[in-house]
Amino acid sequence: MHSYFRLNIRRLFLGGIVTILLMVVACYVLWDRNTVFGTEAVSVNQKPKLDVPYEPTSYGIAKVMLAMADVTAKDLVYDLGCGDGRIVIMAAKERKARGVGVDIDPVRIKESIENAKAAGVSNLVRFIEQDLFITDITPATVMMLYLWPEVNIKLRPKLLKDLKPGTRIVSHSHTMGGWKADATQNVEGHSLYLYIVPVNLTGTWLWTGLNGKATNIRMTQKFQEVQGTLPGNNNEPFLTCSLKGAAIRCTTGSFSIEGRVSGDVIKGAVNYGVRGPTRTVKATRNPSTKVSIAE
């Protein structure tokens, strides 16, 4: 009886030591995990880092932004930094367009989803909690922005690279730096800017139909403005062109060209003055001469 009692005491003692050791190991592991993952765990509860603070576009201005972009039921309207979702919701409600709103702030995304429900357009719009700089914007046909000037400039290469030629961008209050706006309006004391994403026209194009002979013209481009030079002509501009998406209009002293760009081919008409003839022209690009216009 006495030895049975002593055996149990020893077992209890050993069990206690093992339990304490296990607890120490568990505490260490938990402490270690917290130091490794602690920052991430805290950041979930932290407010997201905004590149632009929240300030909603007035409904009056939003209406004009949609009109400037000529939004129709065929469009897919993106708003990068969508706030409470009002622009894409208005595009869906008033113009039957589909929309995608992106905001890094979960509070704004929650509001947007609730507002879309209340407006009865949840079937047309979608909201994504994400940093706008990593959003896939390639499906957009219209882009709405109300950001800050430096954010527009940082975003500009992505807009020029990822959006299809002809996509309309409307920016509330701020320009795109050196990219000239295709149209501007002033509403309620706020400037609005429309930009049409230009096709890339850079490189050397072999034109047929100009003055009856095949001519190589090297095109250089700054956003929607293009200049063409003849080879060996000391970069003296021969053609001055402007782009509206994929539509091209060029002039020289003696003729003008209107056409459309599709990949490495331009098809159009050349007009030699009021009394002169109009002929069809075609140009084909050497693809290896094309350079990026995303700046």
Question: Coil, helix or strand for 6?
Answer: helix
Based on CB atoms, which residue is closest to ligand SAM, 131 or 225?
131
- The residue with its CB nearest to ligand SAM is 81
Q: What token pair was written down for 207?
A: 């034109």
**Residues contacting residue 220 through CB under 8 Å, at least 6 positions apart:** 202, 226, 227, 229
Contact criterion met (CB below 8 Å) for 146 and 81: yes
Cα(15)–Cα(226) distance, rounded to whole angstroms?
84
Based on CB atoms, which residue is closest to ligand SAM, 130 or 216?
130
Question: Coil, helix or strand for 289?
Answer: helix
Place of tokens 């009056």: 60
Taking the complex as a whole, how short is the minimal distance between the CB of residue 81 and ligand SAM, in angstroms?
A: 2
What one-character DSSP code corresponds to residue 179? B
Taking the complex as a whole, how short is the minimal distance between the CB of residue 196 and ligand SAM, in angstroms?
A: 20
Taking the complex as a whole, how short is the minimal distance between the CB of residue 79 and ligand SAM, in angstroms?
A: 5
Taking the complex as a whole, how short is the minimal distance between the CB of residue 145 and ligand SAM, in angstroms?
A: 7
Residues numbered 158 to 177 that lie near ligand SAM (CB under 6 A) are 172
Contact criterion met (CB below 8 Å) for 104 and 50: yes
Q: Which of 199, 81, 97 is nearest to 141 (CA)?
A: 97
Taking the complex as a whole, how short is the minimal distance between the CB of residue 61 and ligand SAM, in angstroms?
A: 8
Q: How many CA atoms lie within 13 A of 68 on its CB side?
A: 27
Residues numbered 67 to 126 that lie near ligand SAM (CB under 6 A) are 79, 81-83, 86-87, 102-105, 108
Based on CB atoms, which residue is closest to ligand SAM, 155 or 217?
155
Based on CB atoms, which residue is closest to ligand SAM, 68 or 82?
82
Q: What token pair was written down for 46?
A: 């932290």
- Tell me the number of residues near ligand SAM by CB under 6 A: 22
Based on CB atoms, which residue is closest to ligand SAM, 40 or 55?
55
Residues numbered 4 to 63 that lie near ligand SAM (CB under 6 A) are 50-52, 54-57
**Residues contacting residue 135 through CB under 8 Å, at least 6 positions apart:** 78, 80, 102, 128
Taking the complex as a whole, how short is the minimal distance between the CB of residue 72 and ligand SAM, in angstroms?
A: 20
Based on CB atoms, which residue is closest to ligand SAM, 104 or 266?
104
**Residues contacting residue 159 through CB under 8 Å, at least 6 positions apart:** 137, 143, 169, 176, 197
Taking the complex as a whole, how short is the minimal distance between the CB of residue 44 and ligand SAM, in angstroms?
A: 17
Q: Which residues bind ligand SAM (CB under 6 A)?
A: 50-52, 54-57, 79, 81-83, 86-87, 102-105, 108, 131-132, 146, 172
